[in-house]
Chains A and B, each alone.
Chain A
Amino acid sequence: MKPVLEALQLARSFGGVRAVTGLSFAVQPGEILGLIGPNGAGKTTVVNLISGMVKPSSGRVLLDGVDVTGLPPHRLAWMGLVRTFQSTTVFGGCTVLENARRGAFRSAHSGWLSELFGMPKARRLHESTDRLAMELLDQLALTDVADQIAGGLPYGKQKALGIAIALAARPHIILLDEPVAGLSSEEASLVRDMLTKVRNAGITVMVIDHNMRFIAGLCDRVVVVHHGQELAQGSPEVVLADPRVVEAYLGGSHAQQYQGR
């Protein structure tokens, strides 16, 4: 099967710091891929490279087999790749429902001219946007707070809303940057269930996190990054038992203790 997303020898340095050095991986359609690694491994840089927020120093990104290296994020969104953010996940100043509507820009957009003159086509699309927004809020258990200001929501709800905004763009692949960072384990398992539903709806998912339990319970396949390079790749059980991965996470001496047990 042709991969949805493919990174080929991606590299990026910031001044003298080589954040990512020659990373390659592929995301297959309909799977949930986890990208994990210890703090400072270059995970967020990888997301920024793929989503067009940062241009790679070298290497290529293919989306559905098309070279999209260096395209700006809004172009990628139109091509079906949407990401979420670790922080500032929502438009803080408006209601939850309005947040979801804003995320649906791509499906609500009827062309700049028809927008400007308020053509019937534009009006019809706006109505379907409202429907889509309400549906998504319903799926992510946000209907009861639809009328509240997003900035005042509890952190877990904001994270869920961040996912709703991304889904509103109707992507076929969604990239999540630390969706459960700062969440309790109950909230994290809610997010896990949501993402499983998203995948079951036919959307390919790529998750970045360092919460091992979350990743192990969610992903079909895991890529481990360390010092900007691939350390291991495979199913969660195999990868997480890999001594090199344990060492990267815990450091050499602790890893020996861990293995001794």
Chain B
Amino acid sequence: MTLVMRIAGACLVVLAAALPFIDKDGFGVTVGTIIALNMIGATSLHLIIRTGHVSLAHAGFMGIGGYVATLTLMRLGWPFPLNLLAGAIAPACLSLLIGPLLLRLQGKYFVLVTFMLGEILRLAFLQWSSLTGGANGIFGVPAPGPMFSSQAGFYWLALGSSLLCIAIVARMLTGNMGRIIDSVRDSERLAQCAGIPVLQVKVAAFVLATGLVGIQGGLTAHYLQYIDPGAFTSVQSLSFVVMNVIGGMRSLFGPIIGATFMTILPELLRGYVEMQHVIFGLILIAVMAAMPGGVVDAVNRARQFLSRRTRGGNLDSNLARVEARQ
């Protein structure tokens, strides 16, 4: 990452943190909170996608996190950060159990089976009414302590959690860890023969990602003060995938951009009630057709196009870097 990008990133974070002071009527803060929450799901799914698997059970794991966080708080009386932690550990434990089986499946078979897993989880939330309240859900989930009960306070909590999640995923995708994950995705056979325990790496990424999305589930329940199975359908899972596709699946910036885009766009279309879904669909199709590799890929192409004449290959700079280290 270049210095310019670091500075730009830091500016964006400061700007995001200052949103409650800029935005007086509070609508921006509401949208900002939802964006921050969605970024957790999108970036954690990105970690799974980078190991070469598209999971359609992500909303299901988010649901487990949501219900566990809610129930440990309301039934068992666990205090706030502890119930959120339980909501992260529960889906992680489930994926640790089934991950080694699931992640042996390749490509479309993995997609199909995770889709079914997502449905099973949704049905479990719906039918296990003694625990989950069935289709009615659970009302009156209390706010997470006095500090985060105001709109701005909760926004900062969501933003902080989201940044933490992005930092964890970024750590996994850079340096030698990132190289390991990229190797696993590009060629399992070669990765194995280089000594990488492929299945273990995939399971670790899967467990970490489902744990993180569990936090989104818990925070969402706190935010809406309500939880029901309708929030954890395959449509929500698919939406996380679309966030990655729109933004770009090859870079962590992809799901960050995608989550922002996919949250703001429906809000902008609120004015056209009848046509909202049609326009939303058309814009998605247009974006996908114009930018098949997502926003990040389109930006990279544009930059390459602009700098083609001014810069040659950077082999020399690579060599120089290695020599300088010796």
Contacts and interface: CB of A to CB of B under 8 A. Distances in A.
A83 B314 CA distance: 31
Contact of B325 (A97, A108, A127): A127
B1 interface: no
A245 interface: no
Interface stretch (A35-43, A115-123, A201-209, A230-238): A115-123
B315 A105 contact: no
Given A102-B183, A131-B325, A146-B315, A168 B194 contact: yes
Interface in B159-194: 171, 175-177, 179-180, 182-183, 186-187, 189-194
Nearest to B314: A147
A90 B278 CA distance: 44
Given A72-B192, A103-B194, A147 B315 contact: yes
A197 interface: no
B176 A126 contact: yes
A183 interface: no
Given A85-B189, A88-B190, A102-B179, A131 B195 contact: no
Given A109-B176, A147-B318, A77 B183 contact: no
Interface string A105-144: 1101110000110100010011100110010000000000
A94 B182 contact: yes
Contact of B196 (A94, A105, A146, A166): A105
B197 interface: yes
Q: Is the interface of A mostly helix, strand, loop or mixed?
A: helix
Given A74-B195, A77-B194, A105 B179 contact: yes
A82 interface: yes
A131 B318 CA distance: 11
A77 B171 contact: no
B194 A169 contact: yes
A73 interface: yes
Given A102-B182, A105-B179, A147-B315, A78 B322 contact: no
B307 interface: no
Q: How large is the interface on A (under 10, 10 to 19, 20 to 34, 35 or more residues)?
A: 35 or more
A53 B191 CA distance: 12
Contacts of A97: 318
Contacts of A73: 189, 192-193
Nearest to B195: A77
Contacts of B325: 127, 130-131
Contacts of B195: 74, 77-78, 82, 105-106, 109, 169
Nearest to A144: B315
Contact of B322 (A92, A134, A165, A168): A134
Nearest to B183: A102
Interface string A49-88: 0010100000000000000000011100110001111001
B130 interface: no
Interface string A143-167: 0001100000000000000000110
Contacts of A147: 313-315, 318
A105 B322 contact: no
Interface of B: 171, 175-177, 179-180, 182-183, 186-187, 189-198, 313-315, 318-319, 321-322, 325-326
Given A85-B190, A126-B176, A169-B194, 16 more contacts: A74-B194, A82-B193, A82-B194, A93-B186, A94-B186, A97-B318, A102-B191, A103-B190, A105-B191, A109-B176, A109-B195, A122-B176, A125-B176, A146-B318, A147-B314, A165-B194
